[in-house]
Chains A and B, each alone.
Chain A
Amino acid sequence: MTDPVSRSYASALADGEPVLALRGISKRFGAVQALTDVELEVHQGEVVALVGDNGAGKSTLVKSIAGVHTIDDGQIEWEGRPVSVHRPQDAQHLGIATVYQDLALADNLDVVANLFLGRELTTHGTLDEVAMEKRAQELLDTLSIRIPSVRIPVASLSGGQRQVVAIARSLIGDPKVVILDEPTAALGVEQTAQVLDLVERLRGRDLGVILISHNMVDVAAVADTVAVLRLGRNNGTFPMAGTTQETIIAAITGATDNAVTRRAARATWPRPEGEA
């Protein structure tokens, strides 16, 4: 492998314009300030790992992008222009697909039905099962996903297979940015490798990927950029190439605060809370 990490990071920087940019995002739940002035940029063909300790605001940030939460303050920019995302459908229309930590698959439906759930292909008002099966098979093939059959209920798939089906499902709507919330959290070694391979293939298709993970090894394997959140604030953004894991972990734990955090710390120190 010819170091795709640094190469695509360089190409991402060369592109200049980010697909998705967050500017000064703030979100408050009652007394809890979950996010404060968070900045994040995602370019085409770039994998941005979003890391941070429990309660750092990763999930809140992702849900804000995905339209599950509306932001209190700040700006979401899509391809350079400001947009408002109030509902999950808004995010989907923009081209942001989210794969949540708890897999959003219906166990009783087969792989094809799950892939096209809510976006079924129809002919004359009836389901076009043949076309859906064909496209599902093609999609899984291009992603090199191997499933025993696209016509078995999702219930009979293994954890890793379910995860790749969930990720493949997010691609049916031709998104530009895919958000993966802890895609490897409950997987074994082999399945984790499969999912990480899939993340690289997403990058190969020029998608922007936001990868939330607790696992520094996963992050080091696929990410181009690492954005660290700590207590609801940015605590540094690092290019993966040339950054040691120690540096990132130090940023996560707060051993090294960057200037932004230090300045904010002087004002008010938000109370650590459970992941909102």
Chain B
Amino acid sequence: MSTPPTRPSGSPDPSDPLGGFNPLEPPPGLDPTPSAAIAPPVDPRLLVRQEGLRGYVDEFKRKVRGGELGSLPVVIGLIIIWLIFSLQNSQYFSAANAEFIVYYMVGLGMLAVGLVFVLLLGEIDLSVGSVSGLAAAIYAVLSVEHNWNAWLAVIVTLLSGMAIGAAQGWIFAKIGVPAFVVTLAGFLAWQGVMLWLLGSTGTINLEPKALNALFSGNSYFLGGDIAGAYILAGIAVVGFAASGFLEQRRRKAAGVPARPTAELIARTVVLAVGAFLVAWILNRASGVPNNVVIFLALLVICDFVLRRTTYGRKVFAVGGNIEASRRAGISVPMVRISVYAISGTFAALGGLAIAATTNAAGQAGADPNNLMMAIAAAVIGGTSLFGGRGRVWSALLGILVIESINAGLFMLGLTLDIQYMITGGVLLAAVVVDSLSRRTQKSSGRA
């Protein structure tokens, strides 16, 4: 019998809650908490936090060492990007440009949200760009050429996206064709269908109706009233604080470790400052575009589904260990099919949003660049390509990075060749960070 590799018992950092503390094999004399043998086990992360500010700093250091970088690299990257472009062009750091960025991020952001679900399974969906183009074409043909009711056309379009995704998921889950190949076929095929639908002209102009009106550039929350942005920020802050304190109360009532009040207040304050700052900036332009409101609402819903429902738990489980999920009675094929259906639906939604920005469904709708940008956004935001790790908020963070770069390059008047090179470089950097952090997590026993 061989002894498996275990973590070294004597950790150099006494605050490291796991390195030195393995209750199954307490190192004689080294155990930093001798009372832990009798006391009921308490979440060490929460313990560390309760030690005050120093505890947070130690916790942060431990996480960085362990490769749990979270959103940190993205936020730093975002600030660097903003600084670089601001130095190049003084107009970059303006309210108008901020509005430009958040407005144009929505279409690709929707694609990225769907991709987050797929990436959580550890799979990929290469068809989202083509499906989004096809969705715009379907909507255009139904609403403009066949004069359908615009909302009905929207619903049929979204259902088409869902059906396409589900079909691809079915081929992957039930027949066993690798998802990469299925969706690569979809990438080509749905682009073909889109071109066929658009016909000889290649472009169908849209009217600002239904969802298209909400997604279009001159539609603002509460008509762009200054109160609108602040109301949204207020809702976000109050909702965040309420859910945090409610959870704290429930956990305390049940006698399980809860977040300290000081931390909840600190988090709420940080969110409030951020939210109201963004609201103030957008108000200096024209207010909050409606497509951003829809995007944020969908992000909240998806985050809730992934973290708070049985379905979300299944998605994470399948992404972590397929065999364990199967033995736990989870229908792996159903999870896969449904996730691809979600991806297809978000691709269709993104297609409608992209078409609305140009008020036309055209051949450029299935631009393969869109696919790459959306994948890049999801990965840059911190969703792992290896499955089982990630959050929908990474779609928002990632697409902010991508769109900030795009806006800057656009402002500097750089040509397409340079744009492609830079975007490719950013995607590569994101994947490298993902792989490195995964390796660090593995070597510190956290992956």
Give the interface size class of chain B.
35 or more
Q: Does A254 lie at the interface of the complex (its beta carbon under 8 Å from any beta carbon of B)? A: no
Residue of B nearest to A157 (CB): B445
B263 within 8 A of A: no
Asked if B323 CB lies within 8 Å of chain A CBs, one says yes
**Other-chain contact of B43, A131, A149, A187, A189 (Cβ < 8 Å):** A149
A139 at the interface (CB under 8 A from B): no
Instruction: For A119, list chain B residues within 8 Å (CB).
Output: 328-329
Interface residues of B in 287-329 (CB under 8 A from A): 304, 308-310, 313, 316-317, 319-321, 323-325, 327-329
* Residues from chain A with Cβ under 8 Å of B388 in the complex: 106-109
| Residue in chain B with minimal CB distance to A98 | B327
Query: Contact: B40 with A149, CB < 8 Å?
Result: no
* Chain A positions within 8 Å of B257 at CB level: 151
Q: Which of A117, A190, A215 contacts B328 (CB 8 A)?
A: A117
Residues of chain B contacted by A155 (CB below 8 angstroms)? 441, 445-447
A122-B445 CB under 8 A given contacts A108-B320, A130-B250, A191-B25: no
Given A102-B323, A106-B325, decide whether A141 and B40 contact each other with a Cβ distance below 8 A: yes
* B266 at interface, CB cutoff 8 A: no
B157 to chain A minimum Cβ distance, whole angstroms, is 28
Contact status B43-A88, CB under 8 Å: no
Tell me if B's interface is mostly helix, strand, loop or mixed.
Answer: loop
The stretch that binds A, out of B15-23, B216-224, B372-380, is B15-23
Q: Which residues of B lie under 8 Å from residue A147 when comparing CB positions?
A: 23, 41
Which residues of chain B come closer than 8 Å to A149, judged between CB atoms?
17, 41-45
Q: Is the CB of B320 within 8 A of A109?
A: yes
A150 B41 Cβ-Cβ under 8 A: yes
CB distance from B58 to the nearest CB of A (A): 16
Q: Which of B28-51 contact A (CB under 8 A)?
A: 37, 40-45
- Taking residues whose C-beta sits less than 8 angstroms from the other chain, chain A's interface range is 35 or more
A130 engages B256 (CB within 8 Å) = yes
Assembled-state Cα–Cα distance A264/B180 (Å): 53
* B7 contacts partner chain A, Cβ-Cβ < 8 Å: yes
Q: Identify which of A6-14, A34-42, A158-166 touches chain B.
A: A158-166
A126 to B325, CA, bound (A): 19
How many whole Å from A244's CB to the nearest CB in chain B? 22
* Contact (A150, B24) CB under 8 Å given A104-B328, A106-B317, A215-B1: no
CB pair A188 B3 closer than 8 Å: yes
Given contacts A158-B7, A161-B24, A190-B25, contact A118 B254 (CB under 8 A): no
Residues of B within 8 A of A120 (CB): 310, 313
Closest-by-CB residue of B relative to A169 is B328
Tell me whether A146 is interfacial, beta carbon within 8 Å: yes
Cβ of B308 to closest chain A Cβ, rounded Å: 5
Determine if B251 is an interface residue (Cβ-Cβ < 8 Å). yes
The listed residue (B313, B323, B389, B446) touching A104 by CB distance below 8 A is B323
Q: Which residues of B contact A137 (CB under 8 A)?
A: 40-41, 256
Contact B24 A108 (CB under 8 A): no
A208 to B124, CA, bound (A): 45
Chain A residue nearest in CB terms to B23: A146
* Chain B residue at smallest Cβ distance from A164: B24
Decide: A159 near B4, CB < 8 A? Known: A130-B250, A148-B21. yes
A137 to B325, CA, bound (A): 22
B98 an interface residue at 8 Å Cβ cutoff?
Answer: no
Say yes or no: is B6 at the interface (Cβ < 8 Å to chain A): yes
The answer to whether B320 and A151 have CB atoms under 8 Å apart is no
- Which residues of chain A are within 8 angstroms of B389 by Cβ–Cβ distance? 108
Contact among A88, A100, A130, A192 with B254 in the assembled complex (CB-CB below 8 Å): A130
For the complex, is A194 an interface residue (Cβ under 8 Å from B)?
yes
Shortest Cβ distance from residue B437 to the other chain A in the assembled complex, whole angstroms: 13
A53 CB within 8 Å of chain B: no
**Residues of B close to A146: CB separation below 8 A:** 23-24, 37, 41
The answer to whether B23 and A152 have CB atoms under 8 Å apart is: no
A residues less than 8 Å from B319 (CB atoms): 108
Given contacts A104-B324, A109-B317, A153-B446, contact A148 B17 (CB under 8 A): yes
B255 interface hit (Cβ, 8 Å): yes
Besides the known contacts A149-B42, A155-B445, 19 further A-B residue pairs in the complex with CB atoms under 8 A apart: A89-B329, A106-B388, A107-B321, A118-B330, A119-B328, A126-B304, A131-B254, A133-B256, A137-B41, A146-B41, A149-B17, A150-B41, A151-B43, A156-B445, A156-B446, A158-B24, A186-B2, A188-B1, A191-B24
7 sampled A-B residue pairs with Cβ under 8 A: A103-B324, A108-B389, A117-B313, A127-B309, A156-B446, A186-B2, A188-B3
Pairs A-B, 9 closest by C-beta atoms: A118-B328, A106-B320, A108-B388, A108-B320, A146-B23, A188-B3, A104-B324, A149-B43, A106-B321
Binding site for B on A (CB under 8 A): 88-89, 92, 100, 102-109, 113-114, 117-120, 122, 125-127, 130-131, 133-134, 137, 140-141, 146-153, 155-156, 158-161, 184-192, 194, 215
